[in-house]
Chains A and B, each alone.
Chain A
Amino acid sequence: MTSIGRPRSLLRRIVQNIDWVIVTLVAGIIALALINLNSAGTGDWSGKIQVQMRWLGLGTIAAVIVASLDYRVLHRMAYAAYLGGLGLLGLVPLIGVMRNDARRWLELGDYQFQPSELMKILLIAALARYLSDRPSKAPRKVRHLIVPFIMFLVPVALIVNQPDLSTGIICSLVALTILALTELSLKSILALMTTGVTLFMLGWAFFMHKYQRSRIDVWLNPEAYADNEGYQTIQAMIGVGNGGFFGRGVRQGTQNTLDFLPYGDTDFPFAVYAEEWGFLGAAMVLIMFAALVLWGLGLASQARDRFGALLCVGVSSLFFFHVCINVGMVLQLLPVTGITIPFFSVGGSNALAMMLGIGILLSVSRSRHQRG
């Protein structure tokens, strides 16, 4: 254990060991995201965007704290935090705030908070601890995974029940990625995938809401629903295409500024961005996100221990799935879901959770060369 308790050396060590790649990438992404959020909004810096910046500020403080801590503190706290998160999730149906037919929020004074967003990070930490505490040289079988499955299925069930299918999907994907890394045999992965597909088919047939099912129809043939369910998809594509190579310029996109593109600040900010910044800007942001994810994976391979590696993989995959699914949806490669794009979409809890993840990456990065 290194000397965390010595405050004098704290600042020095942070500056010395800070991972400037991550900081630069995240700062750049956040800057672009804020400009875009402003553009997608009314054009002034009030309202939603102020709330978002307040949450980002909070997230930055949290990230600095996490980064300055040794991530092994997380190892100690992981289960407790996980149970706390479950507790908050359990509170949501009881005292949560109802909005748009969903109960996802807890209210704290002026702030509304989504425990499901925090749960993403807590789930990563808990799974990482469980899997790093029981390393095994032999390939694990499916039966070894009963506990980790329960660990992620319980919160996912609570989240899906809110209902918030997209967060549930993200949690599942992240958990499965972590599991796939820890030497699941290829056979097990195949078995899992088969189970997943079967479950999806069953869910499709019996459990999915009608609106969720029709989303697939709309995705495959949006023009047939151009005036209704397919409207967003089509307008988003028009927005992206209208951007061309160089883009229309900030607040010059017609799809955005003339309100043809709905949900430009939540589900479709990337379409706004692509219209106003063009292929150049959009490719740049995608590459920045990819660099962040790849850097995170690189950190995983250099981590001091298995726990750190799993944390990095968890956080990286969290970013990866968010960006990939959201952008895929905007570009009509995937059906429309409510999965947001980090920092570009408004959402305080999400911003806070993402900043926590960045803090974890920084923390792992800081200690990667300090073996022993």
Chain B
Amino acid sequence: MTSLREPDDLRALRPRLQAMVLVVLLALMVLLGRLCQLQVLEGEHYVRRAERNFIDTIEAPALRGRIFDAQGRPLASNRPAYTLYVTARPRVVVETDDPGARSQTGSRVPLSDAQIDALADLVDFVDAADREQFTAAIVRRRDRDEGIYPFAVRGNLTWQEFARIQTRKDALGDWLEIRESARRFYPAGELTAFVTGYVGEITPEGLANSAGSYRPGDRVGKTGMERQWENYLRGRPGKRSRVVDVHHHPVKDPPRDALAALPPDEDPIPGQDVYLTLDLDLQRVAAEAFADKPAGALVAIEPDTGRIVAMLSVPAIDPNRWQQPIGRDQYKAWSESLLKPFIDRTVQEHYFPGSTYKVVSALAALDDPTFDPEKTITCDGYVNYGGRRFKCTHKHGPVNLEQAIVQSCNVYFYTLAIDTVLSLERMELFARRLGLGERTGIGINSEAKGRIPTEAFEAREGTYQRGVRLNSAIGQGNVTATVLQVAVLYAAIANGGRVMTPYIVDRIETPDRRLVLQNKPQVRRDLEPVLPADRDRIHAGLTGVVNNELGTAYSERLGSVVVAGKTGTAQVGALDKKNKNPKPGPIPGFDFTQDHAWFAAYAPADAPKIVVVAFVEHGGVGADAAAPIVMKVIESYLGSRSETPSRAAPAASPRRCPAGATSKRSSATAAPRPIAPSPSPAPACPATARSAPRRPSPKRQVLPDMSPRPARPRARAAPAARRRPTSRRARSTPPRRSPPRRRSCRDRPSPPVHRARPARPGGLAVTSIGRRRFIAPALLAREVLP
């Protein structure tokens, strides 16, 4: 115990105690310094990181804009739906065994295969591949850093799926979430399948190219309007923020600082509504007329404006089917089907126009000053040329130009081709002027150009023979066109030479009905100065096709209205013929040896309001297969409007022949049935017409009588849309802006022009789009919004 009482000994400890004090003070300084660094100097950084922990921002999806027909009937709308979200790398709750303890969370653990399987068991898959895809999407996600955020793994859950998942949700864990969303619905189904198109999940490539404006799982327009107007239809998603805890559950009573840190909510901006020129009733009539035809297409447009009122391609796939997963078998069946249901036959595929092309040949012939349209050529049923025999349908005897059209005599055109009246160059010139061989500019469903052969082309293809000219003259050989092109061509014939740019979008409005964009008729090319003056003969011929006893479509004439048109029976290629039903189980009414049937018509013949072109694939003879369809559509279109008195009817004014041909014209239009071959020689007419200076054209005064129909009682049509051009000036682009250009562009294909129009009364900067193939960036759609 002595050692306990030795104060000296204690004094000896002091230096070391003092050293210890220093160590303690030093440690305190270090800790305080670090505390100061973290809390005061770098505090902001950690505040942000804390916010990243508890702020959960959900994208509030914007409702997609709707698509309406001309009467405001919906063609594409939205319905409520549920979307399944999965967090592939959730935080795992670590249970402590202390009863009073809170459960703790620690690591993020990727979902196990068993968990994914358990979820997959709750979903209805169309086939094994669908399930595999579903599982693979989650597996892919769980290996990535983004796996910590919920992602949409399956949309449009059925009620059964929704109920099943909802009941098992708590048992499965925190990584599942079902959010409300919207699914696309197409009330008209396959009737408007190619027009509306459909939406589907964005592809990985599309996602990569979108520069972050889309998220995985977003649905985007794939075809049709949905694709072309994607940037207008999609709207802009908004954002909502909430405070969540570590389990990603919303917190009922969050700390006040957390609430203050939430970013302000952004409301989604719904997409803009697209109003089409399409008439659903007429579309239905067309579809019913096609009821027994397995494949074909029909386009109906207004000749004066280029508005498309019906646009049908059969067969089609109901776009609603794309809103659910499609089984591999079903997809295979579609893609291997001989009927090619994926192809929009109005624009995507091009065919031999057959005899419908004869109007181009006739115009080309009339352009030759040495050509006399009254001179008859005797048809013996065939003509020999270059060692080959070119056949006609039967012996027509002596025919002049008009009768050659009426009776669709091939020999007449063969002879012209042999006589080099119809050279490839001349035919090509007129075909191109009339819009063949180039895209019409409607801008949907990857339009085909069609083919107009030149000698160079034939040489390149190795198909150039002298006989090519003969075949080209009757729309065979290497001449191909889309149905829409033929419709535009006949519209130009009907309206006196203006090749219109066809359009199907009338206007675009915001959901609160403010105008965003208004389409106007656009003259793509005004051929009036270059077309031969006596082209009225062609009109007479076309009228005769239906109304002359010898006409190929005489049997299909309508009692109520005088229709002018042209049949076409396009021989299918030799390859197709050899390929006689290559697959077992031939499709009824779809015989590969049969020719394609065409009928292109406009009505009423003297003041055309509608152009209808029908194409029946392997339908046989044009008059039998295609003409009845066209007649039904014309009857329906004009019939439904017969209650409004037509002011145009009595106006038998010089419409198609601008100068010097009034006398000839009168015989054709004033007394259309029966048509006598015009005796008047009028030899100077073409020459005078061509050499005449640009005249102040009687059309100026006449047109107001001709083209404006009394406004149709369409409740929802915007005033601007209803306004008919009252003069040529009004019809084309505003002369104020570019008067010189208007003239210079007339004869050439105009380049895509994107013009900003002056502000409208509503203060909106309205944009009109030259060829409407242009898809404006999303910004444009936003700019017009406040």
A residues contacting B by CB (< 8 A) are 41-42, 46-48, 51, 72, 75, 99-100, 132-135, 177, 180-183, 227-229, 231-232, 235, 237-245, 248-249, 251-255, 257-260, 262-263, 265, 274, 278-279, 282-283, 286-287, 290, 293-294, 297, 300-301, 303-307, 309, 313, 317, 320, 324, 327-328, 331, 333, 371-372
Interface residue B99 (Cβ < 8 Å from any Cβ of A): yes
Cβ of B5 and Cβ of A180 under 8 Å apart? no
A24 to B54, CA, bound (A): 38
Chain B residues within 8 Å of A47, by CB: 98-101
Cβ of B53 and Cβ of A260 under 8 Å apart? yes
Chain A residues within 8 Å of B98, by CB: 47-48
Cβ of A258 and Cβ of B10 under 8 Å apart? no
Interface residue B42 (Cβ < 8 Å from any Cβ of A): yes
A320 to B24, CA, bound (A): 8
A328 to B107, CA, bound (A): 23
Cβ of A262 and Cβ of B255 under 8 Å apart? no
A75 to B50, CA, bound (A): 52
Contact of A320 among B27, B46, B244 (CB under 8 A): B27
Interface residue B58 (Cβ < 8 Å from any Cβ of A): no
A274 to B36, CA, bound (A): 11
Cβ of A283 and Cβ of B32 under 8 Å apart? yes
Cβ of A232 and Cβ of B49 under 8 Å apart? no
Contact of B257 among A41, A245, A248, A306 (CB under 8 A): A248
Chain A residues within 8 Å of B34, by CB: 331, 333
Closest approach, in angstroms, between the C-beta of B308 and any C-beta of chain A?
A: 56
A232 to B107, CA, bound (A): 9
Q: Indicate whether A287 sits within 8 Å of B28 (C-beta atoms), given known contacts A47-B100, A306-B9.
A: yes
Chain A residues within 8 Å of B257, by CB: 248, 252, 254
A155 to B17, CA, bound (A): 26
Cβ of A283 and Cβ of B35 under 8 Å apart? yes
A261 to B128, CA, bound (A): 43
Cβ of B106 and Cβ of A282 under 8 Å apart? no
Closest approach, in angstroms, between the C-beta of A304 and any C-beta of chain B?
A: 8
Q: Which residue of B lies closest to A235 (CB)?
A: B53
Cβ of A278 and Cβ of B28 under 8 Å apart? no
A252 to B25, CA, bound (A): 32
Q: Which residue of B lies closest to A46 (CB)?
A: B100
A301 to B97, CA, bound (A): 45
Q: Indicate whether A258 sits within 8 Å of B4 (C-beta atoms), given known contacts A242-B47, A290-B25, A333-B34.
A: no
Interface residue B256 (Cβ < 8 Å from any Cβ of A): yes
Closest approach, in angstroms, between the C-beta of A55 and any C-beta of chain B?
A: 14
Cβ of A258 and Cβ of B32 under 8 Å apart? no
List of 5 A-B pairs having minimum Cβ-Cβ separation, nearest first: A241-B46, A47-B100, A305-B4, A242-B50, A227-B108
Among the interface residues B53, B97, B254, which one has the most CB atoms of the partner chain A within 10 A? B53
Q: Indicate whether A300 sits within 8 Å of B17 (C-beta atoms), given known contacts A231-B107, A258-B246.
A: yes
Interface residue B31 (Cβ < 8 Å from any Cβ of A): yes
Cβ of A241 and Cβ of B38 under 8 Å apart? yes
Chain B residues within 8 Å of A278, by CB: 39
Closest approach, in angstroms, between the C-beta of B700 and any C-beta of chain A?
A: 76
Interface residue B20 (Cβ < 8 Å from any Cβ of A): yes
Interface residue B424 (Cβ < 8 Å from any Cβ of A): no
**Can you list 30 A-B contacts (CB < 8 A)?**
A41-B100, A47-B99, A51-B100, A72-B4, A132-B3, A135-B9, A180-B16, A181-B13, A181-B17, A241-B43, A244-B47, A245-B39, A249-B255, A254-B53, A254-B255, A258-B246, A260-B54, A260-B105, A260-B245, A263-B104, A286-B28, A290-B27, A293-B24, A300-B17, A301-B10, A304-B5, A306-B9, A317-B20, A320-B27, A333-B31
Q: Which residue of A lies closest to B7 (CB)?
A: A371
Q: Indicate whether A297 sits within 8 Å of B24 (C-beta atoms), given known contacts A279-B39, A282-B39, A324-B31.
A: yes
Cβ of A241 and Cβ of B4 under 8 Å apart? no
Chain A residues within 8 Å of B245, by CB: 258-260
